[in-house]
Amino acid sequence: MADILVLYYSRHGAVRELARAIARGIDSVPGAQARLRTVPAVSTVCEATAPAVPEDGAPYVEASDLQECIGLALGSPTRFGNMAAPMKYFLDSTSGEWMKGSLIGKPACVFTSSSSQHGGQESTLLSMMLPLLHHGMLLCGVPYSEADLSTTQTGGTPYGVTHVAGQENKPTLSEEERRLAMAQGKRLALLALQLVKP
Ligand SMILES: Cc1cc2nc3c(=O)[nH]c(=O)nc-3n(C[C@H](O)[C@H](O)[C@H](O)COP(=O)(O)O)c2cc1C
């Protein structure tokens, strides 16, 4: 089995729901399995440290996860039209992997959740693509052959799957969002198996 890393940060659970749907899409591909990982929150109190093991959700990511996985799905909430600081903080710690070339030639996709429909999802997705391009990754989005992309009234973009959580921050995905997330996971896994020999 070859592992595809699904790495996300989520404070209220919406991005975690997308991550789980993407993971189900990955797991539907024979020979591929999702490895769910998260990053700790960052604190304005610099001395504060997170517990070694998260209280719930996926384990914290380690450098070995980046090395061992043959593809990557990267997710973050939209924060002022950009990725959240904990994900950026983690990415800023990956220069060792950049120097080793651990991610070169591996496929990647990105995903996000925001409270409002036009609140910067696409700029957030683009912001997450930039460091992945520096790492030499090959980005894949969602093709319009996925019919839900043309009809969704909630989340879903060709740059990567999304969720619109609304002002009440509801993490539950719409049917279109769930299907698109699974399709993105499946597409990433199929690409990874073609591109990278595990
Ligand atoms: C500091 C901060 C900035 C935010 N900026 C935006 C934004 O620019 N546009 C938007 O629509 N939602 C924004 N939100 C709302 C989150 O993107 C939204 O609640 C998201 O679904 C949270 O994902 P999570 O449940 O995985 O934590 C912001 C939230 C916070 C805390």
Amino acid 148: pLDDT: 98
For residue 6, what are the contacts with CB-CB under 8 A and spacing of at least 6?
19, 22, 23, 26, 34, 35, 36, 37, 72, 73, 75, 185
Indicate the pairing of strand 72-79 with strand 82-83.
antiparallel
How confident is the model at residue 44, as a pLDDT?
80
Please check the confidence at residue 198 and state whether its pLDDT lies above 70: no
Ligand 1 surroundings by CB, under 6 angstroms: 10-16, 77-81, 113-116, 119-120, 165, 169, 171
What is the best residue among 6, 12, 38, 115 to mutate for testing ligand 1's pocket, by most ligand atoms within 8 Å of CB? 115
pLDDT tens, 3-17?
999 999 999 999 999
> Does an H or E element contain 138, and which?
strand 138-139
Please report, for the domain that includes residue 64, its CATH number: 3.40.50.360
Q: Are 31 and 1 in contact (CB under 8 A)?
A: yes
- In DSSP terms, 72 is beta-bridged to 5, 108
pTM assigned to the model: 0.94
> How many angstroms separate the CA atoms of 83 and 61, rounded?
17
Axis crossing angle, helix 175-195 with helix 14-27, rounded to the nearest 10: 50
Count of domains for the chain: 1
Residues 116-167: pLDDT tens digits?
999 999 999 999 999 999 999 999 999 999 999 999 999 999 999 999 999 9
Domain range spanning residue 125?
A: 2-195
- Distance (Å, rounded) from C-alpha 106 to C-alpha 78? 25
Mean pLDDT computed over every residue of the chain: 95
Mean pLDDT on 19-28: 98
